[in-house]
Each structure stands twice: as structure tokens, then as C-alpha cells.
Amino acid sequence: MTAETESAQQPEHRQEDVPPRSRRGTAAAWLTTTDHKRIALLTLGTALVLFIVVGVLALVVRAQLTLPDQHLVSNDFYNGLFTIHGSGMIYLVVTPVAIALGLYLVPLQVGAPAVAAPRLAMTGFWLYLAGTVLIFAGFATALGPAAGGWYAYPPLNSSRYLPGTGQSLWIAGVFIAVLGMIFQAGTVLWTALLKRAKPVTLMRMPVFTWSSIATNLMVIGAFPSLLAAMGLLAWGRVFPNIFTENLWNIAYQHLFWFFAHPVVYVMFFPFVGVVAEVLSTFSGRRFFGYRATVVSLLTFAAFSMSVWGHHMFSTGQASNDYYSLTSILLLVPAGVEYFGFLATVIGGQLRFTVPMLFAIAFVPQFLIGGLTGIMVATPVIDYQVTDSYFIVAHWHYTLAAGSLFGMFAAFHFWFPKATGLLLDERLGRWQFWLLTIGTNVTFLPMFWLGLEGMPRRIATYLPQDGFTTANVIASAGAVLIALSVIVTIANVVTSVRDRRRPAGDDPWQGFTLEWATSSPPPPTNFDREHPLPRVPSFAPLLDERAREEGEERTGDDPTEHGGLRSGGGR
């Protein structure tokens, strides 16, 4: 295999691009970096800070809703809180994490020395940051932040009904931040498809890299539609009369949901990839059903572009049976992914580390979101539960009980790689149990609230509505979630301050290429001390270990796994 020895030297020719060690730590070096790992860390770090800020807004929402007839905040400020909480989590937290996780990991996992078009990726970060500033600047304006909900339907969001400057700033901010995300996604896709090290063929890319490819394809296919929707909304800020016509109101909804259903999978797929990597690593075995999972991710991504109308069942202006058909069919690729998760665990030898706990919890919790998703894809059910707390519960199970757990699995799994330091296991377990209990106590009662008739986005309710008990329980759960986040912050702060637990290159006995280099990796990912290893399959370090042990395990021949057959040796 001469290809592998060649590629091990490949990073060397870029060595002159790297600033000397003495200047690498300065703020200027960080803010002008072209290293994909640093761009990704800037994006991820910003998103994690925003996760806390935007999460605090949700705590105020929960405080207001705990008891009936409470007026801790005015109706308008309440509307601002849930708007910035919802749009912040989606546009500024989970989507950027989903994309930037790929920006950090994909070049490493495909053995590339850098990301393609790093300055474009960095522009993406700056646009994201600028968009964030604009959205939050709304709090400093006379009428407060945007208050039209994260999907910002016209005519409500035209200047006639929500005249505040915060509303206009929000439209501009969302446009700019999402444009930045399109840039980053493009560079990651480019890297995975065209910048792989020679031995890394398509079918030797890890599951996470495939999930990132599927994600970024959706970003490129669907996100421009949001730019068009925001453009239309901006037009309506200037000429609100266009939204007296039904045509433009419904056109906005089509443009918006054409983006906003795929974005749900953008916020989900990378965490499917994360959970697959974490489950297989701590099961001590190759991910089961790799090929089926790859096919299902790509099918899922393609189908994701055909389901948007299921958000419009109750408009009386969509082809409900068609959108119901395409939406329900998605259970096939989703079911195939779950098969891979379960089969991997069923044949594993399990180590219950903190990342593994989060990955395990993801499986049943996201399942609740997925199964209720099939229910709301059924028009006759959706007519009753749409715009109620049933829906709020449904997507908090996908995003909080699902993606957030995938996010923390990733955080605990790759934190040692990015920093060279291990987090504290005991605090990690506290975080896990608080978050698991808190999430379910918060969001499970909301299904019931929806069925009892509580509409979403109401600032308060009356004692006779009968919503009080469930809301008290939900708020108690939110306190546990807050405690869990505090424990996490303490964990990170003490681990980084004390620097007591060096991670080493490969603290988890990982399978993929990022574990073959140092922690943190050198500027060009692989260098003389850390050459690219052999890549016979999608789990190269597992193959390496098996080879070193001299075990000719029956059935674990990498050629069996689609690796060498699909292009190796050429």
C-alpha cells in the first residue's frame, strides 16, 4: 500500500503556512486563524455560551408558567423571551454546533491537513457572530427584542403589527447567521468529498463523517430558502401591504418550511453520527450496519426536502395526504439507523463512560420524539394537537432529549481531543443524571398539557384551565436541568484550571483517525510524530489494534466491510 506512506507525508508541504509556535496562542492568532480546529472551536464555544444565555430565557418562561395568572413579565416581553429562546436555540446553538462539529472532526477523520477554503469557513464564523449580535441587540431597543416566534409568520411580523426595531434586527441577524452557516457547511462538504487522504475512500469514512455529509447537503439544498423567506419578510418591513394578500402569506410559509423541516434533520443527523461513534467505541466493536446506515442517511436527507407541508396541515391550503405520505415514509431510514445503534450494543462489551451514558440515553429519548413525530405527521391527529403543548413536548424530545444528549456525548467524548485534558467522570455522571431526570420531568407533562388543550405561546393561563399541576412539575424539571448545566460549567472550569488529568492521544481507545494524532492535534493534523496510520476500513484504529494483537479474528477481515473492495488498492 504505497498510497498510505505517501499520504503520511502529505501534510508536510503545508507546514510553512503555520505561524511559529510563539505567536499561536495570541488573540490575534485565534481571530485570524485558518486552522479548521480553531475556527470550529470559536464557533462551538460561541454556541455553548449562547446555549447558556438562551437557556436562561427558558427558565424565565418556566417561572412565568409555573402558576396560573402570573405576571412576572409582561405579555410582550414573554413573547420576546420564547422568540429568542426558540430562534436562538435553533439558529444560534444547535445548528452551528451540528455544522461546526463537522468542521472540527471531518478533516481529521478523513486524514486531511486542513479544511478546504478555510477563510470561507472563518467568514462563516464571523457572519454567525455578527448575526448573533444583531439578534441580541433587540434587547437594547425601545420595543424590546423580536417577539414574533421563531417562524415569524407574516402578516404578524410585518412592520404594521410588530413595529419594533428588534424585529428588523432579528430578520437581518437570522439572515446573516444562516448565511455564515451555509459557508461553513460548504467547506466541510468540500473537504469530505474532495480533500480526503488517499487511502480514505468514501466507504472508509467514519459514520460521523457520513452524517456530516448528509447534513451539509441538506444545508446547501434547503438553507437558501430561508434567505429568500427572510428577504420576503424584510420587504414586508418596508411595504407591509404585500401581506394583505394571502398569496404572500402562504408563500412565506412554503419558503420557510422548505428550510425549516430539513433544519430539523440538520440538528439531528450529526448527533446520529456522534451516537454511532460513541456507542461503537465503548462497545469495543465496529459499528454494525455501516453500509445500511450510510444509505439511510443519504435517503433521509433526500426525502427531507419533500415533507415541509406537514407543518401546514391546519392551514387548509396544503396537500395533506401527500405530505403525510412522505413524512411517514421517513420512519424507514430512521428505523434502519436505530437498528444499527441497537445491534452495535447487543454485540458489544460495554464501558459505561460519561459519553457512553449520554449516547445510550439518546436512543430511547429521541425515540419518543420520533414516534410522536409519526403521530403529528398524521393529519387527523395533527389537526387537534398542532400549535398545542403536545408539539412543544414533541420537538423538545427531539432537540433537548435527543440532540442535546448527542451534543453532550460529543462534548465529553472529544473534549480531551480538543484540549488534551480529561473531564471529571464523577461530575460528568452528576450532570448526566440531573439532565436525564430534569429533561423527562420537564417535557413529559407537556404531552398531557397539549392533549388537555393548552395552546403553545401563551404567556399565562387561568386556574380553572386545569394546567397548574403539570406546569409545576415541568418547572421543577427545569430547575434540575439548570443544576445540570451548573455542574457542567464547574466540571469544565476545574478541569481546565487544575490541568490534573492529561488525556493522552487516545484516552478512549477510539477507532477513527483523530485518535491517531496528538491531543490537541498539531496545526496540520498529522505530522512526523503523528503520521497517518493505515486505513483499511472505516474503523482504522480498531483494525490496527487487531493487527498488533496478531489476532486473525474470524469474520473481522476489513475487506468484509466494504472497505478495500470499494476502491482500495487502486
Question: Does 368 help bind another protein (rule: CB under 8 A)?
Answer: yes
Question: Does 2 help bind another protein (rule: CB under 8 A)?
Answer: no
Residue number with CB closer to another protein (199 or 562): 562
Q: Quote the Cα angle for 125-130-135, to 5°.
A: 125
Q: Which of 215, 281, 304, 324 binds another protein (CB under 8 A)?
A: 324
Residue number with CB closer to another protein (452 or 520): 452
Total residues binding another protein (CB under 8 A): 86
Task: In angstroms, give the least distance from the CB of 371 to another protein.
Answer: 4
Task: In angstroms, give the least distance from the CB of 339 to another protein.
Answer: 6
Tally of CB atoms within 10 A around 497? 8
Task: In angstroms, give the least distance from the CB of 116 to another protein.
Answer: 30
Q: Which of 10, 123, 141, 314 binds another protein (CB under 8 A)?
A: 314
Stretch that binds another protein, among 138-146, 179-187, 219-227, 343-351 (CB under 8 A): 343-351
> In 239-314, which residue ranges form alpha helices assigned H by DSSP?
246-260, 262-266, 269-283, 290-303
Question: Does 73 help bind another protein (rule: CB under 8 A)?
Answer: no
Residue number with CB closer to another protein (11 or 507): 507
Residue 177's nearest CA partner among 223, 124, 213, 222 is: 124
Q: Are 43 and 103 in contact (CB under 8 A)?
A: yes
Residue number with CB closer to another protein (130 or 381): 381
Residue number with CB closer to another protein (42 or 276): 276
Question: Does 332 help bind another protein (rule: CB under 8 A)?
Answer: yes
Question: Does 559 help bind another protein (rule: CB under 8 A)?
Answer: no
Q: Which of 1, 19, 73, 76 binds another protein (CB under 8 A)?
A: 76
SS (H, E, C) 105-150: HHHHHCCCCCCCCHHHHHHHHHHHHHHHHHHHHHHHCCCCECCCCC
Question: Does 162 help bind another protein (rule: CB under 8 A)?
Answer: yes
Q: 186: which residues sit within 8 A by CB, 6+ positions away?
A: 117, 120, 216, 219, 220
Residue number with CB closer to another protein (198 or 285): 285
Q: Which amino acid is at 83?
A: T
Question: Does 198 help bind another protein (rule: CB under 8 A)?
Answer: no
Stretch that binds another protein, among 4-12, 268-276, 311-319, 499-507 (CB under 8 A): 311-319
Place of cell 429519548: 365
Residue number with CB closer to another protein (39 or 454): 454
Question: Does 320 help bind another protein (rule: CB under 8 A)?
Answer: yes
Tally of CB atoms within 10 A around 244? 12
Q: Are 543 and 558 in contact (CB under 8 A)?
A: yes
Tally of CB atoms within 10 A around 341? 24
Q: Quote the Cα angle for 8-9-15, to 5°.
A: 125
Task: In angstroms, give the least distance from the CB of 197 to another protein.
Answer: 22
Site for another protein in 434-473 (CB under 8 A): 452-453, 455-462
Distance of CA 33 to the CA centre of its chain: 24
What are the distances in angstroms from CA 522 to CA 11, 120, 362?
11, 21, 32
> In 452-534, which residue ranges form alpha helices assigned H by DSSP?
468-498
Q: Which of 49, 560, 566, 567 binds another protein (CB under 8 A)?
A: 560
Question: Does 79 help bind another protein (rule: CB under 8 A)?
Answer: yes
Q: Which of 161, 194, 463, 498 binds another protein (CB under 8 A)?
A: 161
Site for another protein in 463-522 (CB under 8 A): none
Task: In angstroms, give the least distance from the CB of 477 to another protein.
Answer: 20
What distance in Å separates the CA atoms of residue 314 and residue 387, rounded to the nearest whole number? 10
What distance in Å separates the CA atoms of residue 106 and residue 268, rounded to the nearest whole number? 17
Residue number with CB closer to another protein (360 or 409): 360
Question: Does 32 help bind another protein (rule: CB under 8 A)?
Answer: no
Task: In angstroms, give the least distance from the CB of 455 to another protein.
Answer: 4
Site for another protein in 115-154 (CB under 8 A): 148-149, 153
Q: Which helix (H) or strand (E) holds 412?
A: helix 405-419
Place of cell 407537556: 446
Q: Which of 335, 502, 504, 567 binds another protein (CB under 8 A)?
A: 335
Q: Which of 5, 9, 384, 509 binds another protein (CB under 8 A)?
A: 384
Distance of CA 144 to the CA centre of its chain: 28
Residue number with CB closer to another protein (5 or 244): 244
Question: Does 66 help bind another protein (rule: CB under 8 A)?
Answer: no
Q: Which of 46, 201, 249, 495 binds another protein (CB under 8 A)?
A: 249
Question: Does 175 help bind another protein (rule: CB under 8 A)?
Answer: no
Q: Which of 68, 221, 379, 520 binds another protein (CB under 8 A)?
A: 379
Q: Which of 364, 548, 549, 550 binds another protein (CB under 8 A)?
A: 364
Task: In angstroms, give the least distance from the CB of 338 to another protein.
Answer: 7
- Going by the DSSP 8-state scheme, the letter that residue 152 receives in this structure is -
Q: Which helix (H) or strand (E) holds 524?
A: none
Site for another protein in 272-301 (CB under 8 A): 283-292
Q: 407: which residues sit within 8 A by CB, 6+ positions away?
A: 94, 97, 271, 274
What distance in Å separates the CA atoms of residue 145 and residue 168, rounded to the nearest whole number? 9
Question: Does 193 help bind another protein (rule: CB under 8 A)?
Answer: no
Residue number with CB closer to another protein (53 or 363): 363
Q: Which of 59, 120, 228, 325 binds another protein (CB under 8 A)?
A: 325
Q: Which of 387, 425, 494, 502 binds another protein (CB under 8 A)?
A: 387
- Going by the DSSP 8-state scheme, the letter that residue 500 receives in this structure is -
Burial readout 309-331 (b: 16 or more C-beta within 10 A, e: otherwise): bbbbbeeeebebeebbebbeebe
Residue 10's nearest CA partner among 197, 140, 179 is: 197
